[in-house]
Structure 1
């Protein structure tokens, strides 16, 4: 019997790379430990960057819940199975991905590294892992697409209140070779984020994270002559630094200081639209031929509505806990959403930190996951190299977790691989333990 084993399983290869080079005294460029990775990245960032990247809404209960949910599920490994070859590959929208992992769209990456999205794109190309271009990127999608080579790319859409801008962004995404549109639905308004509010810091007002817009001819044509009057005036000792940042960004895109201030104001006024409803899905379908994925689904009823309105996929996400304080963890919402979604591909983000986390998400119904904060931490510490190492470490752990649980493919993961939460020592698989051969 033969089967497609996909790409070379990365677990032992990455493990031995670290151990063998370590025999000479070398150490990984970025910490392998997820806890140390975050701690060292936090120290490497500015105070404003760390607050923006690491912080979440309110008391940050949703971010904590995301992580706690992974701890409530435990593997029940099987033994004496041939796991000498493992297949991590997964099919998504007509493309075979080498692993069930894509890099989530994260905006304003210039906060943590000067090469920002471009460094991430190069790391994605080197590892052949898919990247979702952020709508709030620091580098235009065309430049990232050129760096990606043959690696998969999708485009995240924040549905602006200006449909002309939306059409332009979608057309550019198609031309850049994007294979899907990921519509972010959980940020029609900005969440209440105390870490940023305590610092009075919103990077967009400083011209950061606007590369997709400042490079877009339609958006540029709509920048007003002067910023609108709000009745609110900036004040404080950093006013000159903010003005210099706007000036520098304006020079990058050929805009005057006044035009940059007006562009930032126009962006904040139009980047999203709270009046979106299910009838708008049909309008979006008329704007693009690409698969449409709805990101931010947490309720089973919304999953059924998504299927009824003809979308192509779902991402179970609570924006990393950055929007609603005290909401359901994504992993807890996943089984119900996946059941309601029927045959729609369901992905998950929010809370993923390790390869073992990915395996748990797949066992509970996800087809793949989006990785967020960890790769940003790698970027902050070591640029492209840091992102590559984070990807390599996570895929290695996923591969080894699969093998050590007695499974030889991603497709073999299911509820029977996990024990439900319960008293210490309980090991009954949550589906009754049907044998997998």
Structure 2
């Protein structure tokens, strides 16, 4: 049971399909199911090609790399009093309930009629941070209306800098607390699945943050229709010097999303950004970049503790969260699990995924002998590069 994403009545299709999905995959309470099952539900409804890139490699390859790098190589400590576990984290000075946050994902009303509003409410209920995509189908003002919670705004910089400046000002007025600047997209990657499917935003949906902005003078591309609408105006000349421009138009802290190397990390620190998100854009921009978990330690070491380093990509279990923190991440962002769960069960689905990841992470902490985030250290995991160091001495 699948639908091409260019289907003109995608939300109506979803509403009919979801009954079968829930009956098939969620016959019992959510307490016993895994995050992965929301992905299975998503695949029953939608064409999974929407999250692939050229040359149509398995989109889970990054997830496999995440598993392989640390799989079965925990080093738990024993006989620790773990009767009380503290999962709270501080991100850019804001205290949240756990180091698991929501990454920006576009056009969420294609997954569920309530889209980003449902996600925002679920994040609020979980006491964590939601990052709103520039390409959202709900505006910054609409998301802000769900309550005064901690939210970040994801930003692209366009050839017409006034567009970016207007978006930043609106995010500030709406009470958003930080800007997550995407820096791995000077141009849009070749989305062959979008072209094949003639991927277009259904006529009843719009990219709400661009309503009222004059986009007529901006270029268009010949890729997918959605890409033509927004990606053409990307400023391909945007560079490190322009970070200073962004800092002059906002007092909000700026996170660079899309850093994968030590070289860029050192420049980012010098540029005075507030933090880094290690990200490969869901493996949808450039093939053969490393899985984010493989790039994480390089970035953490280069940052030298001067700015926090976060990670997105490949997080599917609480054990994944633990691995990322052990390798130096200050927190993680989840993207696809949010879309999967949103499509399967709306706000309730997103709540379930966040709670499942929280429960699994707490369990992993307890079984590893960690009572707080600061007790999760590099010694708790062994990577493929560590194996000689931990080999038994005969």
Q: Which of 381, 388, 391 is equivalent to 1:418? A: 381
1:402 paired with 2:373, answer: no
Residues 313, 344 of structure 1: 8 Å contact kept: yes
Residue in 2 that maps onto 1:44: 45
Q: Report whether the alignment pairs 1:389 with 2:348.
A: no
TM-score (norm 2): 0.85
Q: Cα 1:416–1:91, aligned 2, differ >3 Å: closer, same or farther?
A: same
Distance 1:176 1:427, change over 3 A: farther
Instruction: Please show how residues 104-115 of structure 1 align to structure 2 within 5 Å.
Output: 104-115=103-114
User: Are 2:201 and 1:203 equivalent residues in the alignment?
Assistant: yes
Tell me the distance in 1 between the aligned counterparts of 2:220 and 2:228: 10
The answer on 1:161 being equivalent to 2:162 is no
Whether the 8 Å contact between 2:97 and 2:126 is mirrored in structure 1 is no
Residue 186 of structure 2 is matched in structure 1 by: 188
Q: Deviations over 1:35-81 (max 9, x none)?
A: 33211211123x3xx432x4344243674034323332121111100
Aligned partner of 2:283 in structure 1 is 321
* 1:408–1:59 CA distance, 2 compared to 1 (3 A): same
Per-residue displacement from partner, 1:321-378 (whole Å, max 9, x unpaired)? 1111111111111111011112201000011111110110000010001111011111
| Structure 2 counterpart SS, 1:91 | strand
Structure 1: give runs of 5+ residues left out of the alignment: 1-24, 235-241, 243-260, 433-437
- C-alpha separation in 1, matches of 2:220 and 2:180: 33
Alpha carbons 1:57, 1:321 under 8 Å: kept: no
The question of whether the paired residues in 1 share the 8 Å contact of 2:187 and 2:231 is answered with no
Aligned equivalents of 2:91, 2:319: Cα separation in 1: 21
- Rounded to whole Å, the distance in 1 between the matches of 2:34 and 2:220 is 48
- The Cα offsets for residues 159-185 of structure 1, whole Å up to 9 and x where unpaired, read as 111111111111111111111100001
TM alignment of 1:2-17, pairs within 5 A? none
Deviation at 1:212, TM superposition (A): 0.7
Listed as ranges, the matches of 1:103-142 within 5 Å are: 103-142=102-141
Residues 261 and 295 of structure 2 are in contact (CA less than 8 Å); yes or no, is this contact kept in structure 1?
yes
Gaps of 5+ in 2: 1-25
Question: Compared with structure 1, are the counterparts of its residues 117 and 407 closer, same or farther at alpha carbon in structure 2 (3 Å cutoff)?
Answer: same
Q: What does the per-residue CA deviation read over 1:14-48, in whole Å, with 9 as the maximum and x for residues that have no partner? A: xxxxxxxxxxx972359822333211211123x3x
Deviation at 1:265, TM superposition (A): 5.6
Aligned residue for 1:294, secondary structure, equals strand
The answer (yes or no) to whether the contact 1:109–1:138 under 8 Å persists in 2 is yes
Report the equivalent of 1:144.
Answer: 143
Contact kept in structure 2, 1:183 and 1:295, CA below 8 Å = yes
Alpha-carbon separation, structure 2, partners of 1:377 and 1:413: 29
**For the Cα contact (< 8 Å) 2:49–2:193, is it kept in 1?**
yes
The match for 2:172 among 149, 158, 174 is 174
Structure 1 residues 234-253: aligned runs within 5 Å: none
Quickly say closer, same or farther: Cα 1:414–1:233, change in 2 above 3 A.
closer
- Counterpart of 1:65 in structure 2 is 62
Q: 1:31/1:406 Cα in 2 relative to 1: closer, same or farther (>3 Å)?
A: closer
Q: State the shift of 1:422 in Å.
A: 7.7
Report the 3-state secondary structure (helix = DSSP H, G, I; strand = E; otherwise coil) of the residue aligned with 2:153. strand
Which structure has the larger Rg? 1
SS of residue in 2 equivalent to 1:385: helix
Give the secondary-structure state (helix, strand or coil) at the position aligned to 2:86: coil
> Are the equivalent residues in 2 in contact too, given 1:415–1:429 (CA < 8 A)?
no
Task: Verify: 1:213 aligned to 2:210, yes or no.
Answer: yes
Give the whole-Å Cα distance in 1 for the aligned partners of 2:107 and 2:157.
18
Contact 2:195–2:223 under 8 Å retained in 1: no
Maintained 8 Å contact 2:220/2:229: no
Cα 1:35/1:200, change in 2 over 3 Å: same
1:279-318 equivalent positions in 2, closer than 5 A = 279-318=241-280
User: SS of 1:279's equivalent?
Assistant: helix
CA RMSD of aligned residues (A): 2.9
What is the CA-CA distance between 1:202 and the residue it aligns to? 4.1
CA distance, structure 1, for counterparts of residue 122 and residue 113 of structure 2: 15
Instruction: State whether structure 2 residue 222 is matched by structure 1 residue 224.
Output: no
Q: State the alpha-carbon separation in 1 of the partners of residues 299 and 336 from structure 2.
A: 24
How many residue pairs get matched? 364
Aligned to 1:340: 302
Shift of 1:203: 3.3
Question: 2 CA distance for matches of 1:267 and 1:207?
Answer: 17
